[in-house]
Structure 1
Amino acid sequence: MDELTLYIANKNYSSWSFRPWIAMTAAGIPFREELIPFGPGATHPRFRDLSPTGRVPVLHHGAVRIWESLAIIEYIAELFPDAGLWPADRESRSLARSISMEMLSGFRALRSACPMNMRRPVNGIALPEGVIADVTRIEEIWRDMRQRSGGPFLFGAFSGADAMFAPVINRFATYDLVRDAETIAYMDAMRAHPAWRVWEEAALAESWIVPEDEA
């Protein structure tokens, strides 16, 4: 099999890079990581050479190029069907994909107001309109999925859906957004995962600074 190469940006800031990286790492998928730090405007000239969107993450697999976080997770799930990136039963898979798509396309108020930043000290901010509604909906998703599966992750074992929501864990913690015990229990399970800890350690060691309005 051709080598898998995942191109990502700064681990401290790049929420979209985090998603496929933690999915592949948690599933034990072998891949080569290549990190290209953001330049001005949270971009880099090399990104255009790697992906038709000019953004990362992008996965190279021989001559195949796969961009967008969820598409990468889907591709890896097809390539490694025994890795457990999606739940085994059809109903759970449909739910996992539905909430992953909701994460992909929604929660813009939260993402805009509270960018991922693993080095940022924990501190609340004045929340623009829409953020609380986003937080409430995400908590509802997490609560419903974990009650249905029994936890500790959204569908019992770690899955692609957990990977899609991984950056939200950092946002909720860093901006001090939640108090619910069930929400915090899920966040604790995610932050204790070995793959999370590897990413976080590397993020905290980075020295690059990107203004929050560019990340």
Structure 2
Amino acid sequence: MMKLIIGNKNYSSWSLRPWLLLTAHGIPFEEVRIPLKTEHTKASLMTWSDAGKVPVLHEDGLVVWDSLAICEYISERYLEGRGWPEDMQHRARARACAAEMHSGFAQLRESMTMNCRATGRRVDITPALQSEIDRIIQLWSGLRSEFAEKGPWLFGEFSIADCMYAPVVSRFRTYGVEVPQVCADYMAHVIASEAMALWLKQSGEEKETIPAYEVGLTPADE
């Protein structure tokens, strides 16, 4: 059976993406969870990939060690390309959105670490961070307005683009980012979806805590 090696569900945004795609489509796989930031983490990860990071997919001797590449493989191998929109132009735009998330938004990643268990956290919104938040709001608002009649996801139907932005949904929820109603509706749909709800439930059951990812003030701290 295919194996997907992931990190802590509470913290690992990269792991969430392919896990969500597999789970949402009911594709069988064995989950191998390796807690991050421990003295044994690096050695454990190196047994699965020379990159020493999560996520990693293993199947029939194939090793894929990048979240977007894993999603592409799943789409081709199991979904007949349905990981992306059917329309060629929509598909190209969805790939551009996914690639922008994959390689960008450095301020968001640094300042708003994914922490699914946390709620009511607050961090300083610098101009650079606000600029990235504004760009995501622009993307989500435009896509949801354009594709609303086709379904509740970014491009109407569920796609890899939604998997790539699911960690951002979690971040915005954790840190109380104010968004327009169209984005709030999208976030609510992502959070309530069966696969995402399962990830959030299981992340809440984890016992590990990584202090570096426990950022942001709570109301009691203020």
TM-score by length of 1: 0.94
User: Which region of structure 1 is more displaced relative to structure 2, 123-132 or 28-37?
Assistant: 123-132
Could you tell me which residue of structure 1 aligns to residue 156 of structure 2?
A: 156
Query: 1:206 corresponds to which letter in structure 2?
Result: E
Could you tell me which residue of structure 2 aligns to residue 189 of structure 1?
A: 189
What is the aligned residue count?
213
Q: Does 1:49 align with 2:32?
A: no
User: Which region of structure 1 is more displaced relative to structure 2, 127-136 or 183-192?
Assistant: 127-136
Residue 43 of structure 1 deviates from its aligned partner by: 4.2
Unpaired runs of 5+ residues, structure 1, are: none
Residue 41 of structure 1 deviates from its aligned partner by: 7.9
Residue 44 of structure 1 deviates from its aligned partner by: 3.1
C-alpha spacing 1:109/1:41, structure 2 compared with 1 (3 Å)? farther
- Any idea what SS the aligned residue of 1:168 has? helix
- 1:91-123 alpha-carbon deviations (Å, 9 max, x no partner): 111011000000001000011000000111312
Counterpart Cα distance in 2 of 1:121 and 1:92: 34
Q: 2:89 aligns with which of 79, 82, 91?
A: 91
Detail structure 1 runs of 4+ shifted over 2 Å in the superposition: 39-44, 81-84, 212-215
Given that 2:114 and 2:170 are in contact with CA atoms closer than 8 Å, whether structure 1 keeps it comes out as: yes
Query: 1:157 corresponds to which letter in structure 2?
Result: E
Given that 1:10 and 1:38 are in contact with CA atoms closer than 8 Å, whether structure 2 keeps it comes out as: yes
Q: How does 1:59-98 map to 2 (within 5 A)?
A: 59-82=57-80, 84-98=82-96
Given that 2:34 and 2:41 are in contact with CA atoms closer than 8 Å, whether structure 1 keeps it comes out as: no
Could you tell me which residue of structure 1 aligns to residue 169 of structure 2?
A: 169
Could you tell me which residue of structure 1 aligns to residue 178 of structure 2?
A: 178
Residue 214 of structure 1 deviates from its aligned partner by: 8.9
Residue 7 of structure 1 deviates from its aligned partner by: 0.3
- 1:25-78 alpha-carbon deviations (Å, 9 max, x no partner): 112211111111113389431111211210010000111000110000000111
Could you tell me which residue of structure 2 aligns to residue 35 of structure 1?
A: 33
Backbone CA RMSD of aligned residues: 1.8
- Any idea what SS the aligned residue of 1:6 has? strand
